[in-house]
Amino acid sequence: MTTFTDITTTTWDDALDAIERGYELGWSDGLPVVPPTTARVAEFIGYAGRAPDDVIGELPERRRVITVAKAAANAVMAGCRPEYFPVVLTAAEAMLDPVFNLVGPSSSMGGAAVLCIVNGPVAAQIGLNSRNNLFGPGNRANGTIGRAVRLILINACAAIPGLFDRSVIGHPGKYTYCIAEAEGETHWTPLHVQRGCDASDSAVTVFAGESPRQVRAVGRPEAILYAMADAAASLGTSMSTSGSVGDVSVGIRQGQIVATFAGNSGLWRDWTKESIRDYLHANIRRSVADLKRGLVLRGDVEPGDEAAMIPLIPEPEDILVVFAGGEESNMASVIPSWGPKVGSTAVTKIVRTT
């Protein structure tokens, strides 16, 4: 039986046969894949300037070693162009970083997806969308880069739905989840610069997240931020569940969030990313009473529990603020992390160019 290792040496009678064989062999995410011919895969590898057997990361829990060639084959199947491949490689290297702890979010019942946030010159160079319909369809670079990451997870990392991917519900970001920041259209510091890169660098930040929760609010920035804090602190996210083990409660699973802001950047002229993070950090919290009613914390509601508030974000720096989305309306979104910060932490890596 053909395995994924043989992907670039397999021959097919025609393109339709190759697509059907992709389904039969389990290489697909449910959508048709582009046949990964030897020549096409070699073109991607050559564009990245890497050797095909270069190791970009390992998943020791599954005895998997991921190489440039495997990543290239999946990028081809996802429909990428060669110039997208350095971004795909960087995203794969970032999610395989031990700090990200890929085995957790990729196998959890919680159904997290790997969100890729691209910053720097490469975003414009390859035409990544940072504006209208940010998380939706319509852009090849966003759609295929995000899809390539998912196919790498399935084919190279064995995160196969129903096998090692034990997601109960999942969400559409598990098909594709890639955006760019509209960093040139705001006075805010770009995300990658906040995370230690130079402004001239191109970088990818990976984040294990739930689906975006759209936030609508009218009026001043304070109204939008108040609504965002309320959405982020809602019961039922990974951050408002218990970290209990057996009968012993180990507290709330505090995690990270991504907060995106769309619309006219002029609305935020008196705000910085730092002041936004400080506001959200102070207000993303939930009362002890609510957490007990939701069985997040043990015990009956007692006097004082309504007023006692518990923060759900460890530090202001754990809020990743991104300016991206359509210009027509001042809308926002909140993306809670898969689990506690110790479970999976966002990772940013610089895109290597030849």
Looking at the structure, tell me whether residues 219 and 166 fall in a common domain: no
Domain count for the chain: 2
Rounded to an integer, what distance in angstroms lies between the CA atom of residue 3 and that of residue 95? Answer: 24
Identify the band that residue 217 occupies on the pLDDT scale cut at 50, 70 and 90. confident
Looking at the structure, tell me whether residues 13 and 135 fall in a common domain: yes
Q: Nearest CA to 235 among 292, 291, 307?
A: 291
Looking at the structure, tell me whether residues 189 and 268 fall in a common domain: no
- Its pTM surpasses 0.85: yes
Residue 294 domain boundaries:
212-336
List Cβ neighbours of 262 (8 Å cut-off, separation of 6 or more).
131, 134, 323, 324, 325, 326, 327, 329, 330, 331, 332
Looking at the structure, tell me whether residues 178 and 271 fall in a common domain: no
Tens digits of residue pLDDT in 291-345: 999 888 889 999 999 999 999 999 999 999 999 999 988 999 999 998 777 789 9
Tens digits of residue pLDDT in 55-72: 999 999 899 999 999 999
What does the pLDDT average to over 172-196?
A: 97
Distances (CA, A) of 146 to 75, 92, 151, 174: 10, 11, 9, 9
Looking at the structure, tell me whether residues 152 and 29 fall in a common domain: yes
Looking at the structure, tell me whether residues 38 and 137 fall in a common domain: yes
Looking at the structure, tell me whether residues 15 and 97 fall in a common domain: yes
Looking at the structure, tell me whether residues 46 and 188 fall in a common domain: yes
How high is the pLDDT of residue 342? 76
Tens digits of residue pLDDT in 240-267: 775 543 343 446 778 999 999 999 899 9
List Cβ neighbours of 242 (8 Å cut-off, separation of 6 or more).
249, 251, 252, 253, 295, 296, 297
% of the chain with per-residue pLDDT over 70: 93
Looking at the structure, tell me whether residues 133 and 242 fall in a common domain: no
Looking at the structure, tell me whether residues 177 and 226 fall in a common domain: no
Looking at the structure, tell me whether residues 170 and 217 fall in a common domain: no
Looking at the structure, tell me whether residues 159 and 284 fall in a common domain: no
How high is the pLDDT of residue 223? 94
